[in-house]
Structure 1
């Protein structure tokens, strides 16, 4: 059977035009040797939005993946969607798939008169390790509600129901929902979107600079009380366990740094903003998730107190620490 899909470009045709100038950010040691190195880029903005520090490539653009969710949530509120703070935190989340996470996503659908079957995101097992093991032990299988983006998709559908927009086609190009999301991201980041693709769950994802992503998070941290940006920030601060989950580093970061707003994204993305508007964004070149938090924590430590467990993690040999994963 002949495929109708447009052929994808081979990687070697893309590298020359898009290879970012990353630098070594994180190293894993074992004994007295460096065993592995993760390259990447990072940008730190001061409270006025100026580049305070950068590592690697400050000009390159990357897909922020799930770090876009809090910005999407601002757009939903601007369009007059009513959500509880728990529902809003979950709409901004890559949740672990616990029963509480799934219940909050279900409540967003129920409040809008929608069903779980209306969800258009991909199916998956719970993202959190403990949650996934418990789910499988109970006989669970991959579902849309367990997938880490179900809170976002439930909120997207709720807005479509409110506005009378097409529900089955809410992820289709040209849908007014997707126009709203794009416009919101452009406004919050201060960058014109010139290229986009599709995230793993089915929503759009846009190429942005790290400075643009950090700028968007600073807008949340500095938002005037009563604004939609402030509401998203308040929900995330009030429910960090819904933004990620127990045992997750993003939840630990928000609990340990008062007022911090943090969101990770697949392929080594992290964004954080502090209460004074200092903001940063990180991209790990190889997409390695383990390198994301050590460099983020090291950069944050120049501005605030950061717990040691976020700065580094041990490499084990025979069950004992014999090395370290930490920022260079």
Structure 2
């Protein structure tokens, strides 16, 4: 297969520009370290408590693409622009869903509520992301579609937001479109950062190069927004999105997905993953964790996140089933995938955010 011209001509990154990742997780087999996953991580305190770095590892200030972890921030932008959906459909707006019937039907409902059909979607086509969901879809003769693609909820909501505001639906992914300008403004505001670059996500959406610090700051703001300091419910887009995700974690990912289980097992926790080994977690008190597994692999993401939660004194006992992965040999356990002892040797990080 010929290599695309862009890939052929792309210069190799300078070695001194590579992120200074550290080992975050290891897979062992009968006591021998078989594989290592490098990455970076940061946890921050709530802004109301004087935002500061609580723990860090690797290079949390290195720019990276948050991928689908941006979806809750994009959802906030759309709510600011007047998007008003039932909580389950708003959670789907922030989802990387498995492609179950409830996800496909939910995306179609968002379109129908705003007088749109599936032809308004500008995301790529794909089979359902979930293994069970994909197999069921294929057994029924299904083919890749835009509704089954894991970002269809977000794209349906983007098209709907255009209808609400009288913006052109066609071309809603263009960086110059009013919707994408609003998304960019919202991302800057929530992260407190100016993106160091932009690209295009797999589904076609505008993507921003940010830091783990900025993304942690954003998730802390969303997670703490649902309640005012005095305990009264908040009424703001950040709180609306956070409430929807917490109330309907099955719409944010799907049954059997670790992000869904994480939100179910830790009351008040807000979580979103992203392709290439990205995980974001926000706690009700405004503390937040952002991590990136450098090789882009998915399996180390959750064990590292659970270890970071433990370091923040969160009760992780209910998370035992997603905190590690058993390694089998001949059908019997012979090792584990588990976090390394990365916390005592953390890289320095800014104390004032």
Partner of 2:330: 318
Moved over 4 A (4+): 8-12
| Distance in 2 (alpha carbons) for counterparts of 1:17 and 1:121 | 36
- For the pair 1:305 / 2:304, whether they are aligned, the reply is no
Partner of 1:73: 75
Question: Offset at 1:319?
Answer: 1.4
Match of 1:238 among 227, 247, 254: 247
Question: Offset at 1:15?
Answer: 3.8
Match of 1:129 among 112, 128, 131: 131
Partner of 1:27: 26
| Distance in 2 (alpha carbons) for counterparts of 1:26 and 1:11 | 30
RMSD: 1.5
Question: 1:154-182, CA deviations, whole angstroms, 9 ceiling, x for partnerless residues?
Answer: 00000111112111211123111110110
Partner of 1:182: 184
Find the residue that maps to 1:160 and give its secondary structure: helix
What's the TM-score, normalizing by structure 2?
0.89
- For the pair 1:273 / 2:298, whether they are aligned, the reply is no
Note closer, same or farther for the CA distance 1:132–1:7 as it changes in structure 2 (3 Å cut): closer
Question: Offset at 1:8?
Answer: 4.8
Find the residue that maps to 1:311 and give its secondary structure: coil
Structure 2 unpaired stretches of 5+: 229-233, 341-353
Structure 1 unpaired stretches of 5+: none
Match of 2:140 among 138, 141, 148: 138
Question: Offset at 1:309?
Answer: 1.4
Match of 2:195 among 193, 196, 217: 193
Question: Offset at 1:6?
Answer: 7.6
Partner of 2:40: 41
| Distance in 1 (alpha carbons) for counterparts of 2:18 and 2:8 | 15
| Distance in 2 (alpha carbons) for counterparts of 1:184 and 1:218 | 15
Find the residue that maps to 2:215 and give its secondary structure: helix
Count of aligned residue pairs for this structure pair:
325
| Distance in 2 (alpha carbons) for counterparts of 1:192 and 1:6 | 30
| Distance in 2 (alpha carbons) for counterparts of 1:107 and 1:226 | 25
Match of 1:255 among 264, 270, 273: 264
